[in-house]
């Protein structure tokens, strides 16, 4: 990160954190697009399945709440714009806004090659990736909601009092939700803040290659009264992860950093 700032209290453009990406593998860049200062690259609610990598320049990510765009953070060279679900689903829409800050050069990532790679993954791995994609989208939404509300977000009061995973514990177990809902919440400034809401088929717990700043180190998992889970053997997908292309690993790393960035903004 190039700049540290308190987004929650001061969301002015000049204070936004800038997140850098990793090494750009030009073998996966099949075309280039150029945007001028202020041009909209992605519009929330619209459809688009392709993913870009930033080759030069900076973009700003925002989320619309109550017809107002809330500026959240910026991305620079090596960062990716899009969603991991684009390689797994045929109808992965846009869930946030992106605009150019200054002139921007983007590389169009070879979506066909990455789709073929993802098609060879096991069902378990695909489900983990889709659940992770939900977390990234939720993290952007919840941060924007926090900027608007200026307070902890109230959550359904019918949750169990004791979390199934407690913030700060060294729990490395992973589970798949069989029924009910789970709420990822972080404790900061004496309050609980919602980071993500999960449901049937999503995972809870620590995935080694997804350093998101969520449970167990920095968040707890509260669940609904009808919640049930089953254990997930993480070793079953680790060998698959090791065989992923550098580009797909970089996408997962960059998107994990985005989730962690949003979680960190709640902690002073």
266 domain residue, yes or no: no
From 74, 89, 119, the end of a domain falls on 119
Q: Crossing angle for the helix pair 246-264 and 111-119, nearest 10 degrees?
A: 90
253 domain residue, yes or no: no
Residue 197 sits in the same domain as residue 150: yes
**Structural domain that includes position 194:** 123-246
Residue-wise pLDDT for 187-227, tens only, equals: 877 788 889 999 999 999 999 999 999 999 999 999 999 99
Residue 59 sits in the same domain as residue 149: no
From 119, 145, 167, the end of a domain falls on 119
Chain centroid to CA 39: 23
3 domain residue, yes or no: no
Residue 141 sits in the same domain as residue 221: yes
Helix (H), strand (E) at residue 113: helix 111-119
User: What's the whole-number mean pLDDT along residues 101-129?
Assistant: 95
Residue 229 sits in the same domain as residue 130: yes
State the number of CA atoms in the 13 A half-sphere of 171 facing the CB.
20
From 86, 119, 152, the end of a domain falls on 119
Domain count, the chain: 2
Distance CA 146, CA 206 (A): 25
Check pLDDT > 50 for residue 5: no
Write the DSSP assignment of 123-166 as a string of letters. Answer: HHHHHHHHHHHHHHHHHHHHHHHHHHH-SPPP--S-B-SS-SB-
Residue 72 sits in the same domain as residue 185: no
Residue-wise pLDDT for 68-109, tens only, equals: 899 999 999 999 999 999 888 766 788 999 999 999 999 999
User: How confident is the prediction for the chain on average, in pLDDT?
Assistant: 88
């Amino acid at each position: 990160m190039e700049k540290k700032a308190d987004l929650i209290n001061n969301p002015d453009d000049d204070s936004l954190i800038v997140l850098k990406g990793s090494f750009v593998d030009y073998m996966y860049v099949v075309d280039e697009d150029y945007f001028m200062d202020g041009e909209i690259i992605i519009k929330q609610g619209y459809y688009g399945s392709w993913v870009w990598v930033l080759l030069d320049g900076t973009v700003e990510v925002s989320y619309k709440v109550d017809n107002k765009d809330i500026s959240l953070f910026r991305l620079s060279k090596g960062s990716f714009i899009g969603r991991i679900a684009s390689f797994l689903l045929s109808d992965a829409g846009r869930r946030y806004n992106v605009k150019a800050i200054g002139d921007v050069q983007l590389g169009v990532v070879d979506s066909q090659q990455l789709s073929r790679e993802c098609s060879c993954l096991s069902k378990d791995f695909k489900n983990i990736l889709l659940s992770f994609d939900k977390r990234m989208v939720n993290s952007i939404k919840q941060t924007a909601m926090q900027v608007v509300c200026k307070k902890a977000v109230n959550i359904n009061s019918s949750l169990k009092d004791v979390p199934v995973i407690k913030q700060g514990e060294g729990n490395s177990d992973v589970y798949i939700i069989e029924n009910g809902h789970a709420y990822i919440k972080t404790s900061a400034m004496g309050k609980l803040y919602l980071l993500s809401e999960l449901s049937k088929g999503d995972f809870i717990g620590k995935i080694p290659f997804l350093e998101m700043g969520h449970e167990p180190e920095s968040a707890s998992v509260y669940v609904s009264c009808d919640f049930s889970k089953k254990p997930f053997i993480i070793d079953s997908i680790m060998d698959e992860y090791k065989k992923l292309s550098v580009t797909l690993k970089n996408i997962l790393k960059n998107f994990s950093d985005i989730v962690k960035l949003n979680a960190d903004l709640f902690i002073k």
